[in-house]
Structure 1
Amino acid sequence: MSLAATTSVNCTSCGAGLDVLGGGRVMVHVCPYCGAELDAQDDYKVIAKFDGLMRPDSPFRIGMSGKIKGVDYTVIGMLEFREQYRGQTWTWIDHQLYSPTHGYAWLTIEDGHLVFTRRFRRPVWVSSAQVERANHPPTVKVDGDRYRYYETSTADIIFAEGEFTWAPKIGEKTTTVTVLADSAMLGFSETGGEREVYRSELVDSAAVAASFGVTNPPVPYGTHPMQPYMGGDNDRFMRIVALVAMVVCFALAMIFDTRTGTLVGEPLVVQARQIPSAVPITIPDVGGPVRLRFEGTPYVVSTLANSPNSLVYAYASLSLSYPDGRSLAGGPSRARVRVGGQPQGSLPGGFNTTELVFPSSLSGSYFLNLSWSSQGPSSANNAAGFTGDITSPRQLHFSEGDITIRTYAGISKGYWLYRLAIVFLIVVGISFARRWNFNRKRWSGSDWTSED
């Protein structure tokens, strides 16, 4: 610890020697021995007595000197404030600082964090009355920074010692409206009829304490409102890389999905009037997956017993099995395709195509089992006067209609790329979630509610 060059005076109340540290703008000096408040502008006459006050526990003592933001400061005074609200009590310690080159400032201990504060010389003001009238949190934009309302507090002084540029009074109340930006806070303070604006920012507790020669530095705990987000040295880089990788994966997946493949062999056609039936089909042994495409004809004319010449459609169920009747394992085996519709225009109520994609390891001979679906007819069928289930070919008399089966090889799917893209999306989401959670903690002490 180093001590700044000082002069001394004797307390006019108790005679104790007092170091004069604060420069020419000091107005009062509170004696640490007898609690007398002395008028530094009038031969140190006693103007008030602060008897029986308990000195707060602070590692910073009057006379200590150190650097803050590269500037030499000396502790010349100490105040303790108390705020009481709805049965809760908060206290904090302000240390008056003096620099011969930069004037006066404050160093505050809040939950172990050190906050550096100076007067803010800008024509800006937010009052508590403005906050009460506001429907939304008031905001202030100064020097390119946007400050949003944080809280309003009313505190009184419960301890004073040392030199000050104003005359503190025990029990005197100060109302302060604070607005918060990313790394700084503005405080609009009213004490009696006087107004002051202050700008505060967080400083490195360990570095400042070491500079002042403090052997038991305060230990920060919790998230301070002005604490910057520390996502790690590579957080931004990882977020950008994950975003780029996610976009690339989605793009490649969509490109792969557009590769429909090459037709293998001749199309296989099954007449609608032949259903139900079991048709032999071969899945070829080729590199990559194989796609079976089933397409129902758009025209089926059906004559119903209770509504002759009605035009309806039905669903055909498709399933694959081994020649010995065993069900296909390890790949898709069931689908459904619509057969029928109106002789002109598109089919109402669904699609008349479907696909099954198989890995090449499932190549071989299979039976394609076709039957009519047990699902009831559509509203279009009901409108035509048919109300029964289309489960039997006896109910339908097809004059035309079929299902065409085509086999394609050399196709690709973007399935795994979609999954990988989702993984990268989760990485990005976690990064943003961490930042959101940090900001939530920063603002958790705000007293603004939706009812304000």
Structure 2
Amino acid sequence: MSLAAPTTVNCTSCGAGLDVLGGGRVMVHICPYCGSELDAQDNYRVLAQFEGMRRPDSPFRIGMRGTIRGADYTVIGTIEFIETYRGRTWTWIDHQLYSATHGYAWLTLEDGHPVFTRRFRRPAWMSVGQVERADSPPRVRVDGESFRYYETSTGRITFAEGEFTWAPRVGDTTTTVTVLSDRTMLGFSQTGEEREVYRSELLDSAEIGRAFGIDRMPEPQGTHPLQPYTGGENDRFMRNTALVAMAACFVLAMVFDGRTGREVADPIEVPAASLPANVPLTIPEMPGPVRITLDGTPHVAPLPSAPLSPLWARVGVTLTDPTGAPVLGAPTGGRVYVGGQAEGQGPGPTNHAELVFPSSFSGDYRLQLIVTQQGPTGTAGTQQPGATVGQRVSSAIDQIGAVGREMLDRISGSGSPFSDGSITIRTYAGMSNGYWLYRLGFVFLAVTIFTLFRRMRFNARRWKGSDWTSED
């Protein structure tokens, strides 16, 4: 610790020697021995007497010197404030600083956080009345920086010693309206008719301790409103990179999804009457996944004696590779419909199925087609208006019985309920899809959301101490 080379005066009340450190704008000097407030502009005559003051616990002492933002400062005064509101109490300690080259400033300790404050000589002001009349948190913009209302505090002086550029009195109160930006804080302070605007910024506790030769600084508690986001040195780079990578993945996925490959074999048509069937497929050696499409005919010849809609069949699809094992990645429960509507559904999507799977090796594959369900459509028939429940049930039973008999007749005559209809099989290779690119894109999206969430959560902690409520 280094001390300034001062001149000294004797306290005109108790005779104690006092170091004079603060330059020509000092108005009062409060004796740390007897609590007398001396007029530095009038031969140090006694202005007031403060007794019973308890010195606050601060590592900074009058006479200490240190460097802040490249300027040498000396601690010339210490003053403590206390605020009580709704049963809660806040305490902070201000230290008046003096620099022969940069003038006067303040070094504040609040919950262990050191804050550096200087007068802000810009045309900006926010009053208590303006805050009370506002429907939303008031804002002020100065030098291109936007500030939002944070709190209004009224501090009462409980201790003062040393030199000051104003005349503090124990018990005096000062009201300050505080606004906050991402980096700095502005305080609009009014004492009587005098207005002052101050600009504050947070200092690094360990760094300021070294600058003033303090071995043990108080441990900062909680998150200070001026505390910068510490998500990591590469947090912004990681977020921006993830955004770019996510966009690239989604664009490439859409491009690859558009490449359906080329047909590598002649279409194979399997008549519905020949089901079940075991269809051989030859897969050439080509990079990328293979796609097999199955299209069932949307209609069959109607039954001759019934006005009901045509028959339908649901065909199960199973694909095995040249070794006889089910193809890894190809669905074994695929199905396609042939015939008319399937259980009341339209014939379009229900008559088309696709198998997409990685081509592990080329060779002869087998596609097994087995009828798993069949029946007529529209079996419920139609009902006459005004029919009773019993009449409707009887009519439905009669219609179902008639259709069942006709189906049995068709099956017993031909082995299949279909007189026409087929499934057309096509094989495509050299295709690509964007499935994994989509998944990777969502991973990068999660990284982006995570970094944004961390910042939002940190900002919520910064603003937690704001006294603004929706009722204000």
The bucket for the TM-score relative to the shorter chain is 0.7 to 0.9
Alignment map for 1:355-366 (pairs within 5 Å): 355-361=354-360, 364-366=364-366
Structure 1 residues 111, 349: CA separation in 2 closer, same or farther (over 3 Å shift)? Answer: farther
Counterpart of 2:286, as a letter, is G
Partner of 1:287: 286
1:203 and 2:199 equivalent? Answer: no
- Confirm whether residue 427 of structure 1 aligns to residue 440 of structure 2: no
Whether 1:450 aligns to 2:449 is: no
- Identical aligned residues as a percent: 59
Aligned to 1:254: 254
- 1:418 maps to 438
Instruction: Give distance in 2, aligned partners of 1:62 and 1:105.
Output: 14
Amino acid at match of 1:335: G
Can you list the C-alpha shifts for 1:97-150, whole angstroms capped at 9, x where unaligned?
112222211000122221000111122211222222222111111001111111
Q: 1:239 to 1:384 in 2, by over 3 A?
A: farther
Greater C-alpha radius of gyration: 2
- Asked if the contact 1:277/1:370 (under 8 Å) is kept, the reply is yes
Deviations 1:192-222 (A, max 9, x none): 3332211100122222222222232333343
Please give the per-residue CA displacement for 1:373-418, whole angstroms capped at 9, x wherever unaligned: 57996xx998988998x99993998776433211112222222222
Deviations 1:398-439 (A, max 9, x none): 776433211112222222222332333333333222222222
Q: 1:159 deviation in Å?
A: 0.6
Q: Distance in 1 between matches of 2:380 and 2:166?
A: 91
SS state at 1:411 partner: coil
1:105 matched residue in structure 2: 105
Letter in 2 for 1:154: T
**SS class of match (1:3):** coil
Partners of 1:340 and 1:129 lie apart in 2 by 80
1:24 shift after superposition: 1.8
Q: Give the corresponding residue for 1:230.
A: 230
> Structure 1: which 5+ runs fail to align?
none
2:218 partner letter: P
Question: What do residues 275-316 of structure 1 show as CA deviations (whole Å, max 9, x unaligned)?
Answer: 8533423252533432111223455575697645x5x79573
Task: Supply the distance in 2 between the matched residues of 1:87 and 1:201 (Cα, whole angstroms).
Answer: 29
Aligned position for 2:428: 408
Higher alpha-carbon deviation: 127-136 or 391-400: 391-400
How far apart are the structure 2 equivalents of 1:382 and 1:79?
Answer: 92
| Deviations 1:36-69, CA, capped at 9 Å, x for gaps | 1112222222222111111011111111112111
C-alpha distance in 2 between matches for 1:383 and 1:9:
115
TM-score between the two structures when normalised by the length of structure 2: 0.82
Judge conservation of contact 1:268–1:404 (CA < 8 Å) in 2: yes
Query: How far is the alpha carbon of 1:84 from its aligned partner?
Result: 1.4
Q: Are residues 451 and 315 of structure 1, via their aligned partners in 2, closer, same or farther at CA, if it must alter by over 3 Å?
A: farther
Q: Partners in 1 of 2:103 and 2:169 — Cα distance? A: 23
CA contact (8 A) 2:296 2:423 kept: yes
Tell me which residue corresponds to 1:153.
Answer: 153
Kindly provide the amino acid, as one letter, of the partner of residue 250 in structure 2.
F
The structural deviation recorded for 1:33 is 0.3
1:357-376 to structure 2, matched below 5 A, reads 357-361=356-360, 364-371=364-371
For residue 78 of structure 1, report the CA deviation from its aligned partner: 0.4
Return the alpha-carbon distance in structure 1 between the equivalents of residues 461 and 67 of structure 2: 30
Map of 1:90 onto structure 2: 90
The 3 A distance-change label for structure 1 pair 275 and 75 is farther
| 245 and 348 in structure 1: CA distance in 2 versus 1, 3 angstrom threshold | same
Taking structure 1 as reference, are residues 382 and 8 closer, same or farther at Cα in structure 2, changes over 3 Å only?
farther
Partner of 2:41: 41
Paired residue secondary structure (1:266): coil
Q: Which moved more, 1:358-367 or 1:39-48?
A: 358-367
> 5 Å matches for 1:243-392?
243-272=243-272, 274=273, 277-282=276-281, 284=283, 286-288=285-287, 289-298=289-298, 302=302, 307-308=307-308, 310=309, 316-320=314-318, 328=326, 330-331=328-329, 332-339=331-338, 350=349, 352-361=351-360, 364-371=364-371
The equivalent residue for 2:386 is none
Residue aligned with 1:443, SS: helix
Distance (Å, rounded) in 1 between the aligned partners of 2:178 and 2:379: 70
Q: 1:425 to 1:383 in 2, by over 3 A?
A: farther
The alignment yields a C-alpha RMSD, in angstroms, of 3.4
Secondary structure of the structure 2 residue equivalent to 1:81: strand
**In structure 1, C-alpha distance between the alignment counterparts of 2:236 and 2:255, rounded to whole Å:** 29
The one-letter amino acid of 2:449's match is G
Cα distance, 1:262 vs structure 2: 2.0
- Look up the match of 1:25: 25
2:407 maps to which residue?
Answer: 394
TM-score (norm 1): 0.86
Contact 1:226 1:442 in 2 (8 A): yes
* SS in structure 1 of the partner of residue 266 of structure 2: strand
Deviation at 1:231, TM superposition (A): 3.3
Unaligned residue ranges in structure 2 (runs of 5+): 384-395, 411-416
Answer whether contact 1:108 1:116 (CA < 8 A) is retained. yes
Distance 1:409 1:174 in 2: 80
Paired residues of 1:62 and 1:76 also in contact (CA < 8 A): yes
CA contact (8 A) 1:315 1:336 kept: no
Q: 1:52 to 1:313 in 2, by over 3 A?
A: farther
**Cα gap change, 1:275/1:229 in structure 2, threshold over 3 Å: closer, same or farther?**
farther
